[in-house]
Amino acid sequence: MVHQGLKLLAFAAVLHLAGCATPRVDDGPPPAPREFRAAWVASVANIDWPSKPGLPVATQKEEIVRIVERAHRLGLNALIVQVRPAADALYASALEPWSEYLTGTQGVAPDPYYDPLALWIAEAHRRGIELHAWFNPYRAKHRTGKSALAATHLANTSPELVKSYGEYLWMDPGEPEAARRTLEVIADVVRRYDVDGVHIDDYFYPYPETAPGGGDIEFPDEPAFVGYRLTGGTLAREDWRRDNVNQLVERINATVHREKSWVRFGVSPFGIGKPERRPAGVVGFSQYDKLYADVELWLARGWMDYLAPQLYWAIDSPGQSFGVLLDYWTAANTAGRHMWPGFFTSRIDATEKSWTVDEIANQIATVRSRNVPGQIHFSMAALMENRKGIGDRLAQANATPALVPATPWLDNTPPMPPDMRVRAAPGDAESILLENASPAPERSWLLAIWMRHGAAWTFRVVPATDREFRIAVRSNGAPLEAIVVSAVSRLGIESTRVSVPLLQPR
């Protein structure tokens, strides 16, 4: 008891024996930093996770923990994990078979059994990282697939919905039952798992295959198109294809929000817009004409919560300048949705065409200079390997934690302010403990914590489920003079900020 009393007096002396009540108005903390900092974790072809098919379950789990912990150390606040690469599942599903990229054989569950998606969510959330489930809406078999299709795979249960195209199998976007399956799969995941987002990539109609004599091979959707015309449809084939994809995107958006209002829906398309709308000098592939993806329409109508265009070109690329494309999509965002561009970070590799680390660092600086609060890196492999030091540079760029930008159009209700208290840290005269005495969080997801040592504020983000945090009583020689905390909802809405009374002298 004597030692504890001396500790309290010592800490009070650090605080100039005056304590610290509510900070002065001109001494309050700055706004919380806001930026979506994420990486894609691809399961197709075992790009990121699992590193090989058929790994022991213990190894699969260890890889999940390593990836999430690495993301946390790099200052990321979200992971986008591919859970449906090819009408299969890297989670427990009654609708589609287990993926061969997990167990080595499609339809075979992990043994001993576990649910990978549940583990991804648990590991991410306990570090305050969002987990977005990434679905491929139409692909039914990737060219790298080696396992025989399971009896429960869509190509076996409903072969009329699946077409062979090049080295792939593809769910026909013109078949209403194919779209219905994708919607059922997404709704099932949102309903059963505590995901923060649903994410689809750039694969709608497949990228064109080239015929031996040149030109594109036509996607074999003649039966679906004939059926559409026989029921009174009047659209030309290209417009009909775009309408099929338009309907799917709009329905995914509605489905996700109907199941859980706080789950965001994101789309990551090819990074070049419609030919007739491109800035002067921009050239390249037309997803509007080849993938039948009318991304500008989706964005204008607000059929997503965030757009993540894949800006996979260098800043000085003459026909696809990173900055020019970023400005294009920013200007197209008339509905005011989130704009979080994708970076080709894995282009840093061991080849002669490798990008430098400075290229990605400069792209991040470009995005921030335009007040575009987002970065998504493809993919975690480059960051796990720290290729040419890219992980070190990213950690420096993200040294100050950030909250994900708020999504007020889904729900602008703030959580209740937190109930926070401080007490002495037993056996540690250099720290105090900040205790979270709030009831079990209902609307709260994170706590935003500001600490002022002398005149300098520092910022920290922690899960709202955590109950205790250690804070230094001095930083760079300056005493701790204020702690301010707010609760943050799943949609990034901040509560009223609470000034936490510090220890008083006795």
Backbone φ, ψ for residue 199 (5° rounding): -135, 135
pLDDT at residue 6, as a whole number: 31
* DSSP, residue by residue, 175-215: -HHHHHHHHHHHHHHHHHS--SEEEE-S-SSPPPPBPTTSS
pLDDT tens per residue across span 47-95: 999 999 999 999 999 999 999 999 999 999 999 999 999 999 999 999 9
pLDDT-derived band at 28, boundaries 50, 70, 90: confident
* DSSP, residue by residue, 386-431: TGGGHHHHHHHHT-S--BPPP-TTT--PPPPPP-EEEEE-TT-TTE
Nearest Cα to Cα of residue 299 among 349, 345, 253 = 253
Is 247 within the bounds of a domain? Answer: yes
Question: Is pLDDT above 90 for 14?
Answer: no
Residue 263 and residue 224 share a domain: yes
pLDDT at residue 288, as a whole number: 98
Give the integer Cα–Cα distance in Å for 455 and 49.
44
Residue 18 and residue 104 share a domain: no
Spatial neighbors of 24 by CB under 8 A, at least 6 apart, are none
Residue 335 and residue 290 share a domain: yes
pLDDT tens per residue across span 396-429: 999 999 999 999 999 999 999 999 999 999 999 9
112 C-beta neighbours (distance < 10 Å), count: 8
Mean of the per-residue pLDDT values of the chain? 93
Question: Is pLDDT above 60 for 2?
Answer: no
Residue 86 and residue 187 share a domain: yes
Element (H, E) at 451: strand 444-453
CATH number where 377 lies: 3.20.20.80
Nearest Cα to Cα of residue 244 among 221, 260, 268 = 221
β-pairing verdict for 168-171 and 162-165: antiparallel
Residue 26 and residue 153 share a domain: no
pLDDT at residue 439, as a whole number: 81
pLDDT tens per residue across span 299-332: 999 999 999 999 999 999 999 999 999 999 999 9
pLDDT at residue 412, as a whole number: 97
Domain end, chosen from 356, 373, 397, is at: 397
Q: How many domains does the chain have?
A: 2
Is 260 within the bounds of a domain? Answer: yes
pLDDT at residue 441, as a whole number: 67
Question: And the tokens for 126?
Answer: 């306990």
pLDDT at residue 27, as a whole number: 62
Residue 269 and residue 151 share a domain: yes
pLDDT tens per residue across span 439-487: 876 679 999 999 999 999 999 999 999 999 999 999 999 999 999 999 9
Backbone φ, ψ for residue 218 (5° rounding): -70, 135
Question: Is pLDDT above 60 for 1?
Answer: no
Question: Is pLDDT above 80 for 296?
Answer: yes
Tell me the mean pLDDT in the region 200-222. Answer: 95
Residue 143 and residue 88 share a domain: yes
Give the integer Cα–Cα distance in Å for 448 and 32.
8
Domain end, chosen from 330, 363, 397, is at: 397
Range of the domain at 305: 36-397
325 C-beta neighbours (distance < 10 Å), count: 24
pLDDT-derived band at 5, boundaries 50, 70, 90: very low
Nearest Cα to Cα of residue 262 among 199, 189, 190 = 190
111-114 LR contacts (CB < 8 Å, sep 24+)? 111/57, 112/57, 114/57, 114/61
Is 251 within the bounds of a domain? Answer: yes
pLDDT at residue 503, as a whole number: 79
Give the integer Cα–Cα distance in Å for 357 and 377.
13
CATH number where 489 lies: 2.60.40.10
pLDDT at residue 504, as a whole number: 65
Amino acid code (one letter) for 133: A
Residue 42 and residue 21 share a domain: no
Question: And the tokens for 440?
Answer: 């079990």
pLDDT tens per residue across span 150-162: 999 999 999 999 9
Tell me the mean pLDDT in the region 189-207. Answer: 98
Residue 47 and residue 130 share a domain: yes
Residue 226 and residue 134 share a domain: yes
* DSSP, residue by residue, 121-181: HHHHHTTT-EEEEEE-SSEEE-TT--SPPPTTSHHHH-GGGEEEETTEEEE-TT-HHHHHH
Is 506 within the bounds of a domain? Answer: no
Is 504 within the bounds of a domain? Answer: no
Q: What is the dihedral of CA 230, 231, 236, 242, to 10 degrees?
A: -130
pLDDT tens per residue across span 272-286: 999 999 999 999 999
Residue 330 and residue 380 share a domain: yes
Give the integer Cα–Cα distance in Å for 105 and 487.
45
Domain end, chosen from 370, 397, 424, is at: 397
| Termini Cα distance of the chain | 14
Is 505 within the bounds of a domain? Answer: no
Radius of gyration (Cα) for the chain, nearest Å? Answer: 25
Residue 226 and residue 82 share a domain: yes
pLDDT tens per residue across span 94-127: 999 999 999 999 999 999 999 999 999 999 999 9
pLDDT tens per residue across span 423-452: 999 999 999 999 999 887 667 999 999 999
Tell me the mean pLDDT in the region 127-153. Answer: 97
Is 406 within the bounds of a domain? Answer: no
Rounded to 10°, the helix 237-259/176-192 angle is: 20
146-149 LR contacts (CB < 8 Å, sep 24+)? 146/100, 147/100, 147/104, 147/105, 147/106, 148/106, 149/106
Spatial neighbors of 189 by CB under 8 A, at least 6 apart, are 83, 91, 117, 133, 135, 195, 198
Is 204 within the bounds of a domain? Answer: yes
Helix ranges restricted to H, 40-99: 57-73
Structural contact between residues 79 and 132, judged by C-beta atoms closer than 8 angstroms: yes
